[in-house]
Amino acid sequence: MLVGLNPPDDAAIWRMDESRALVVTADFFTPVVDDAYDYGAISAANSLSDVYAMGGEPFLALNLAALPPNLPAEIGGEILRGGAEKAREAGVVIVGGHTIQDKEPKFGLVVIGQVHPQKIITKGGLQAGDHLILSKPLGMGVTTTAIKRGQAREAEMAEAIRWMKTLNRKAGALAREFSLRGGTDITGFGLLGHGLEMAQASGLKLEIAYAQLPFLAGAPRLARAWCFPGGAADNRLFVQAQVAFHGQSEEQQMLLFDPQTSGGLLLGVPESRLEAFLERARATALPLWDIGRAVPGSGIAVF
């Protein structure tokens, strides 16, 4: 067992031999959007992300579904179809799974991937001087909460759904190509929660430039309307003592505690490889944002 219960990482890793290791993860959640197909696709993309975050390539998956007995069969079918087509986009085969009855729909995947034992990406792999590169904008939590409350505009909903359905496959492939060692994906603990995990595991401090952070177009408006999910307050309570803000308003701060659904990868890229890394991303039409650096120290500072 190379990665198991002790490190705060995204998946378990089991070495089979000197050149092969299995990456194993599971994830599922309740609907974040109204459309059944989109929900299935988003949940699948989110489940696959943990393998990409560990430097792996997923190849096999199982469905995990809990569906109400009175849910029309066509809706359940659309959830599974959304998941299956997203898995196929990732080059992953779904070979079965398990379904139970429940009062509220829940869907996700068990995902199995592979990685070279010497090329694993972990939260503790950051080095001082690494640039912090983010592969998706923030604001999924505040936007999906606004959708549930009927406060999100059509364009805001469409943008959030598009990003949540986007696989982290290209970002993961780029991380492998450049032999990166530090990374994670930004999900339920928000940028600061998962960033602090990386800082603590690596024994470093993260400096984040607020002006360089990408947000969904509607996120600032919805933050001012205080459409945050309850998890944002929980994240703030857990993390805030180890975060120093410099001039950000309360709603701006809360956007960094905002839980993300199917968020982007946060990768540490050494200064010596940064220019080539970003150039390669541009050549493959992969949007990336340089949001800060890892430096000696502890905790997180937001400037």
> What's the whole-model pTM score?
0.96
If one counts every other C-beta atom within 10 angstroms of the C-beta of residue 257, the result is 24
Distance CA 237, CA 151 (A): 26
Residue 272 in contact with residue 182, Cβ under 8 Å? Answer: no
Three-class DSSP labels, the chain: CCECCCCCCCCEEEECCCCCEEEEEEEEECCCCCCHHHHHHHHHHHHHHHHHHCCCEEEEEEEEEEECCCCCHHHHHHHHHHHHHHHHHCCCEEEEEEEEECCCCEEEEEEEEEECCCCCCEHHHCCCCCEEEECCCECHHHHHHHHHHCCCCHHHHHHHHHHHHCCCHHHHHHHHHCCCCEEEECCCCHHHHHHHHHHHHHCCEEEECHHHCCECCCHHHHHHCCCCCHHHHHHHHHHHHHEEECCCCHHHHHHHHCCCCCCCEEEEECHHHHHHHHHHHHHCCCCCEEEEEEECCCCEEEC
Burial classification of residue 117, based on how many CB atoms lie within 10 Å of its CB (0-12 exposed, 13-18 middle, 19 or more buried): middle
Summarised one tens digit per residue, pLDDT across range 98-130 is 999 999 999 999 999 999 999 999 999 999 999
Residue 32's identity, in one-letter code, is V
182-206 mean pLDDT: 97
Burial classification of residue 190, based on how many CB atoms lie within 10 Å of its CB (0-12 exposed, 13-18 middle, 19 or more buried): buried
In this prediction, residue 6 carries a pLDDT of 75
279-286 mean pLDDT: 97
In this prediction, residue 9 carries a pLDDT of 86
Mean of the per-residue pLDDT values for the chain? 97
Is pLDDT at 7 greater than 90 in this prediction?
A: no
In this prediction, residue 8 carries a pLDDT of 76
pLDDT interval class at 220 (50, 70, 90): very high
What percentage of the chain exceeds 90 in pLDDT? 97
Summarised one tens digit per residue, pLDDT across range 13-58 is 999 999 999 999 999 999 999 999 999 999 999 999 999 999 999 9
pLDDT interval class at 233 (50, 70, 90): very high
pLDDT interval class at 219 (50, 70, 90): very high
- Domains along the chain with CATH numbers: 12-115 (3.30.1330.10), 123-302 (3.90.650.10)
Is pLDDT at 282 greater than 90 in this prediction?
A: yes
Residue 38 in contact with residue 161, Cβ under 8 Å? Answer: yes
In this prediction, residue 10 carries a pLDDT of 86
In this prediction, residue 227 carries a pLDDT of 97
Summarised one tens digit per residue, pLDDT across range 70-79 is 999 999 999 9
Is pLDDT at 137 greater than 90 in this prediction?
A: yes
Is pLDDT at 240 greater than 80 in this prediction?
A: yes
pLDDT interval class at 4 (50, 70, 90): confident
Is pLDDT at 301 greater than 90 in this prediction?
A: yes
